Each structure stands twice: as structure tokens, then as C-alpha cells.
């Protein structure tokens, strides 16, 4: 996969007859339908994907800081699992936002890539004041001689799959529902850093994750997780919150305990998949009661049937 990390300042070096574009935040089932339609239309010809960074709303407001399902590095990793010929990172700024949609489509997509066919989502809007609607882009194709395929919405339970809907589910801790819309469990990754050491003192060591600042973290609570460490797939539990039992004024933390694992993860990058919310965050009257509940949480995580489903997908 060829990466054009600074488009349009870095121009494509080859011809890509088929181009699709969007933020692709989370690469959910709707995005997958877009890519599948693009591959079908490409029929073996090189396909280029254009993704926006930063998120347009971060430029135009309100900002999406701390709200991305898949920051750019994660998005590129997800794209690498598809047979995409190239990914161009459109460095979105106010100059690009002020472009007329005709110039945006004709110059940045058709001419820059040599595109003959654009694959667009049902609700794509580009150009100044989002005036480049799907209908107008289709009309532009008829005017300038390129084809446009508009991919319809994907629905789950009668509702359109969207990044916004998934964000709302995660804000409520509904990670199982988010899994269904993403097509995979929501994941969190970060470098393991040293924490307060309370877990280790009680015989339940945890790996504290330093998650990317712009990554959306689900609602506070305890979750069952799956993780890969080396060639091992492990069960575990994840705590998200502020340690209320200890009267902590610390910032919100993300810490994982991996079952049947005894090793040093400090400084390593750990990737966990969030499978089910076990309970909400809770303040206990004393640490002993908290530890007893943690053991019950770990027992529930060990028995979780969704872990097998997740492992089978890998």
C-alpha cells in the first residue's frame, strides 16, 4: 500500500482509475460497504482511498478532540488489511474547506489521481459550506466525463450505521452494540506506563495504558477484554475511570489486567479489544470490598463466551 501522507502537497506518483473518499473514522460496516463497492468497480485496477486528517470538524468546529474512533495511525493500520493500492491523507485545512466543490472534485480527485470513477457515500458533502452533495457530484461527473457510484447506507436494527451513532453507544458503555456496527470489537491501544501500583499491592497487577489523546474512550466502568501478547490470546478485564474508592483526584485512567499472564509490559504497546461491559464504575466502602468485586469481575471475564467469538475472527 502506497502512502501519500501529505496530500495535496504530495502529489500521487501513479494513476489510480478508481478513487473513494471519506473520513473513514472507525472503518465501520458502512465504510466497509464503500470499500467493497470500490473494489468491485476497480476489478483489479489500482484503487486509491482518500482519508481526511484532521477531521473536518476539528477545523470547522465543533472540535472532535478526544472523540475519534480511529486516529490516523490506527486508520492506516486498518486500511493495510485491505488490498488498497494507495491511501492519500488529505491534510484538511481552511483553504481546502473554502474550495468550491467543483474544484475540489475535479482537481483533488479526478485530475490528481487520473480517476475515471469515484465511489462516494450516500451522505458525502465536500467543498465550501458542504455544497458538494452526492447529487451535484454525480452531475459533475456527467459534465466532465467521469463516473460516480453512490453507495447506499448500511442499516443495523433499522438504523443507519455511522461513526456518530457508534460514538453515542460507546459514551453509554454499550460496547456490544458498537461491536455489531463496527464489525469488530472496539479496541484501545497504548503504551504501558507505571500507575499507582494499587493493583499489584493486592495481587492483581494492571497495565496502565497511555491512550492517544484524540481517541474516544468508552464510559467509565469495568469491561471484559481480549488481548494479544506475542503469539498468545488472553482474556482479561479493563477498568476505565478515576478510582473513586481511593478518593482519587487523578485523571481518568485506562488499566487492564490480563488473566494467566505474568510478565513485564512496561514500555510496550498493548492492544486490547473491548468485548462487554461488566458493570459501571463504583465506589466501595473499603479496598477489601473492591478487591472482592474485582475477583468476581475477573471470573466473569474468564467465562465470557464473546471471547471465543473474538478469537475466531483473528
Q: Note the pLDDT of residue 244.
A: 65
Task: Write out the chain's pLDDT in tens, 314 residues.
Answer: 999 999 999 989 999 999 999 999 999 999 999 999 999 999 999 999 999 999 888 888 776 566 899 999 999 999 999 999 999 999 999 999 999 999 999 999 999 999 999 999 999 999 999 999 999 999 999 999 999 999 999 999 999 999 999 999 999 999 999 999 999 999 999 999 987 666 665 578 889 999 999 999 999 999 999 999 988 999 999 999 987 666 666 678 899 999 999 888 999 999 999 999 999 988 886 788 888 999 999 999 999 999 899 999 88
**Do 2-159 and 184-313 come out as alike in CATH topology?**
no
Contact 255, 199 (CB under 8 A): yes
Backbone angles phi, psi at 210, to 5 degrees: -95, 95
Q: In the chain, count H helices and then E strands.
A: 12, 14
**Superfamily the domain 184-313 falls into:** Riboflavin kinase-like (2.40.30.30)
Q: Note the pLDDT of residue 284.
A: 81
Q: 209 - beta bridge partners?
A: 192
| Cis check: omega of the bond before 54, within 30 degrees of 0 | yes
Cell 479526478 belongs to residue: 110
Q: Which CATH architecture has domain 2-159?
A: 3-Layer(aba) Sandwich (3.40)
Q: DSSP label at 284?
A: -
Contact 149, 55 (CB under 8 A): no
Contact 242, 250 (CB under 8 A): yes
C-alpha to C-alpha distance for 192 and 211, rounded to whole angstroms: 9
Nearest Cα residue to 18 out of 45, 50, 56, 57: 45
Is pTM beyond 0.85? Reply is yes
DSSP string, 88-114: EEEE--HHHHTS-HHHIIIIIIIIHHT
- Chain mean position to CA 12: 25
Which pairs count as long-range contacts for 178-183, CB under 8 Å and 24+ apart, including other chains?
179/275, 180/156, 181/28, 181/29, 181/156, 182/26, 182/27, 182/28, 182/29, 182/69, 183/28, 183/29, 183/32
Q: Note the pLDDT of residue 217.
A: 96
SS3 227: strand
175-182 and 163-171 helices, crossing angle to 10°: 160
What ranges do the domains of the chain cover? 2-159, 184-313
Amino acid at each position: 500500500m502506497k502512502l501519500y501522507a501529505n496530500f495535496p502537497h504530495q502529489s500521487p506518483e501513479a494513476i489510480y482509475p478508481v478513487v473513494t473518499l471519506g473520513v473513514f473514522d472507525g472503518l465501520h460496516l458502512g465504510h466497509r460497504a464503500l470499500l467493497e463497492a470500490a473494489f468491485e468497480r476497480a476489478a483489479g485496477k489500482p484503487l486509491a482511498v482518500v482519508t481526511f486528517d484532521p477531521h473536518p470538524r476539528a477545523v470547522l468546529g465543533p472540535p472532535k478532540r478526544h472523540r475519534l474512533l480511529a486516529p490516523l495511525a490506527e486508520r492506516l493500520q486498518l486500511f493495510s488489511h485491505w488490498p488498497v493500492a494507495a491511501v492519500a491523507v488529505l491534510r484538511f485545512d481552511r483553504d481546502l474547506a473554502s474550495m468550491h466543490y467543483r474544484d475540489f472534485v475535479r482537481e483533488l480527485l479526478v485530475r490528481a489521481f487520473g480517476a475515471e470513477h469515484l465511489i462516494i457515500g450516500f451522505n458525502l458533502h465536500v467543498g465550501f459550506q458542504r455544497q458538494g452533495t452526492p447529487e451535484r457530484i454525480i452531475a459533475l461527473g456527467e459534465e466532465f466525463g467521469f463516473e460516480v457510484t453512490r453507495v447506499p447506507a448500511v442499516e443495523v436494527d433499522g438504523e443507519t450505521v455511522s461513526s456518530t451513532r457508534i460514538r453515542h453507544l460507546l459514551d453509554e458503555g454499550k460496547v456490544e452494540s458498537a461491536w455489531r456496527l463496527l464489525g469488530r470489537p472496539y479496541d484501545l491501544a497504548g503504551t504501558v506506563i507505571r500507575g499507582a501500583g494499587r493493583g499489584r499491592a493486592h495481587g492483581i497487577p494492571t497495565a496502565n495504558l497511555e491512550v492517544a489523546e484524540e481517541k474516544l474512550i468508552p464510559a467509565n466502568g469495568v469491561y471484559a477484554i481480549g488481548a494479544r501478547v506475542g503469539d498468545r490470546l488472553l482474556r482479561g478485564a479493563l477498568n476505565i475511570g478515576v478510582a473513586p474508592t481511593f478518593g482519587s483526584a487523578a485523571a481518568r485512567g485506562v488499566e487492564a489486567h490480563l488473566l494467566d499472564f505474568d510478565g513485564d509490559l512496561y514500555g510496550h504497546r498493548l492492544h486490547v479489544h473491548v468485548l462487554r461491559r461488566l458493570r459501571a464504575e463504583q465506589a466501595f466502602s473499603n479496598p477489601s470490598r473492591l478487591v472482592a468485586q474485582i475477583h468476581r469481575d475477573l471470573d466473569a471475564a474468564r467465562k465470557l463466551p464473546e471471547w471465543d467469538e473474538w478469537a475466531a475472527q483473528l
